[in-house]
Amino acid sequence: MGGYLLRRVGQAAVVLVGVSVVVFGLLQLVPGDPIRLALGTRFSQETYDALLERSGLDQPVLQQYVTWAGNALTGDLGVSFRSGEPVTQLVLERLPATLTLAFASILVALLIAVPLGTLSALRPRSVVDRGATVLSQFGISVPDFWMAIVLILIFAGTLGWLPSGGYVPLTEDPLGWLQRLILPAIVTGVVSGSVITRFVRSSVLEVLGQDHVRTAQAKGMATRQVLGWHVLRNALLPLVTVTGVQLAYLLSGVVVVEIVFAWPGLGQLALQSVQARDYPVLQGAVLLFALVFLVINLVVDLLYSVIDPRIARR
């Protein structure tokens, strides 16, 4: 196990280096001048030159990358070009909000997808199945900002049941935390859940046709037992991968939902840094997202070795 982990960490390091190089390179190709953006529309040439020098952006590209990489290795991801705050601090500040929303969304998604997908597979082409298909199509096609705004207008506006946005840490105000989490989690959860529902349906359908399910029935087991231990236990194994992908995507910050709900997450940060061409923050954010994917992949693989006996533990 130790050797395996070591190998994975090594691979991850290579990926991260590759990602940082690619992002750095791409940013050089993208039009847009962070100095100009920072200075606004009225400024003199001297001001421009002074800021350029202070920022280090007048250095040759390779030099800039090497400096950045060297610092990154010691954990120093640099400072935001716009605000001067350390990148790591900016990211850490927004991490709890993103983590909260991501996990809440996955929870909502699974609560929708597993029952709905399973029911659809158990009764193919029935009313439930067709209804679930329509709903999941809807969930996938509907723009999330539209859904978000509609929910705000209904639940925060007309009904006044919930706040219209914002984020409070759980420790400060548990009720407020929950109230603010509900609507955004529903929006992102419905979207994720719709994708996962289709997947659960096809996975369960496939397992239902397998021989061992027939064996279980022939043994005279109760239907619920067969469903739980033989059908779902197998059908939901691949769900781990799909959920992992969805989770990784959610952890990279869901920009639109964050903006509409004023949710201070990493998506907002990423968008702001793109608009401002705040390279250090962008680099740091992308690196973090890559790291998230790598970690989730690793966790998924390890999880499989635990829940699927066919996969040997190393």
Partner 1 sequence: MRAPRTLSSVAAGALLLTACSGGESVDTGGGGGGGGENVLVAAVSAQPDQLDPHVTSAYPSFQVLENVYDTLVVPNAEDLTMEPSLATGWETSEDGLTWTFTLRDDVTFHDGSEFDAADVVYSYNRIIDEQLNNAYRFATVESVEAVDPQTVEIRVTQPTPNLPALIGGFKGMAILPEGAADQVDLTTEAIGTGPFQLESSDAGSTVLTAYEDYWGGAPTVDGVEFRYITEPAAALTALQNGEVDWTDNIPPQQVSALESEEGVELQSIPSVDYWYMTMNYDRPPFDNRDVRRAVATAVDRAAVTEAARFEAAQPNQTAIPEDNFYASDYAPFDTNQDAARQLLEQSGVPLPIEMGLMVTDEFPETVTAAQVIASQLEPIGINVNVETLDFATWLDREAQGDFDAFMLGWLGNIDPFDYYHAQHITDGSSNYQGYSNPEVDRLLNEAATETDEDARRDLYNQAVQLIVDDVSYLYLYNPNVVQAWTPGLTGYQIRPDKAINFETVELP
Partner 2 sequence: MSEPVLEVEDLRVDLRTPRGTAHVVNGLSYTVGRGETVAVVGESGSGKSVSVLALLGLLPSRTATVTGRAALQGEDLLTMSKNRLREVRGPGVGMVFQDPMTSLNPVLTIGRQLAEAVRAHGESSKAAARERAVDLLREVGLPDPDRAVDRYPHQLSGGMRQRVIIAIALANSPALLIADEATTALDVTVQAQIIELVDRLQEDHGTGVVWITHDLGVVAGIADRVLVMYGGRCVEDGTVDDVLERPAHPYTRGLLGALPDLAEETGDGEVPDLATVPGVPPPPTDLPEGCVFWPRCPVRSDPRCETEQPPLDLVGGPLLTKGDGLPHRAATWCREGDDRWT
Buried-state track 209-235, b at ≥16 Cβ within 10 A, e below 16:
eeeebeebeeeeeeeeebbeebbbebb
**Residue list 219-258, contact with partner 2 (CB under 8 A):** 219-222, 225, 229-230, 233-234, 237
71-110 mask for partner 2 (x: CB under 8 A)?
Answer: ----------------------------------------
d(CA 268, CA 272): 6
Q: What's the min distance (Å) between Cβ of 182 and partner 2?
A: 35
Q: What's the min distance (Å) between Cβ of 206 and partner 2?
A: 12
Nearer to partner 1, 15 or 264 (CB): 264
Give the three-state DSSP class for 215. helix
Instruction: List the single partner that 276 binds among partner 2, partner 1, none, CB under 5 to 8 Å by kind.
Output: partner 1
Give whole-number Cα distances, 87 to 36, 61, 68, 253, in Å.
Answer: 21, 20, 12, 16
Residue 313 in the binding site for partner 2 (CB under 8 A):
no
Q: Please, is 92 exposed, middle or buried when counting C-beta atoms within 10 Å of its C-beta (0-12, 13-18, 19+)?
A: exposed
Cβ(105)–Cβ(183) below 8 Å:
no
d(CA 129, CA 150): 26
155-184 mask for partner 1 (x: CB under 8 A)?
Answer: -xx--x--xxxxxxxxxxx--xx-xx----
Instruction: Single out the residue of 2, 84, 209, 309 in contact with partner 1 (rule: CB under 8 A).
Output: 84
DSSP string, 36-63: HHHH-S---HHHHHHHHHHHTTTS-HHH
Instruction: Single out the residue of 19, 72, 77, 104 in contact with partner 1 (rule: CB under 8 A).
Output: 104
Nearer to partner 1, 139 or 267 (CB): 267
By rule CB under 8 A, what count of residues binds partner 1?
A: 81
Q: What's the min distance (Å) between Cβ of 202 and partner 2?
A: 18
- The site for partner 2 (CB under 8 A) is made up of 210-212, 214-222, 225, 229-230, 233-234, 237, 307-310
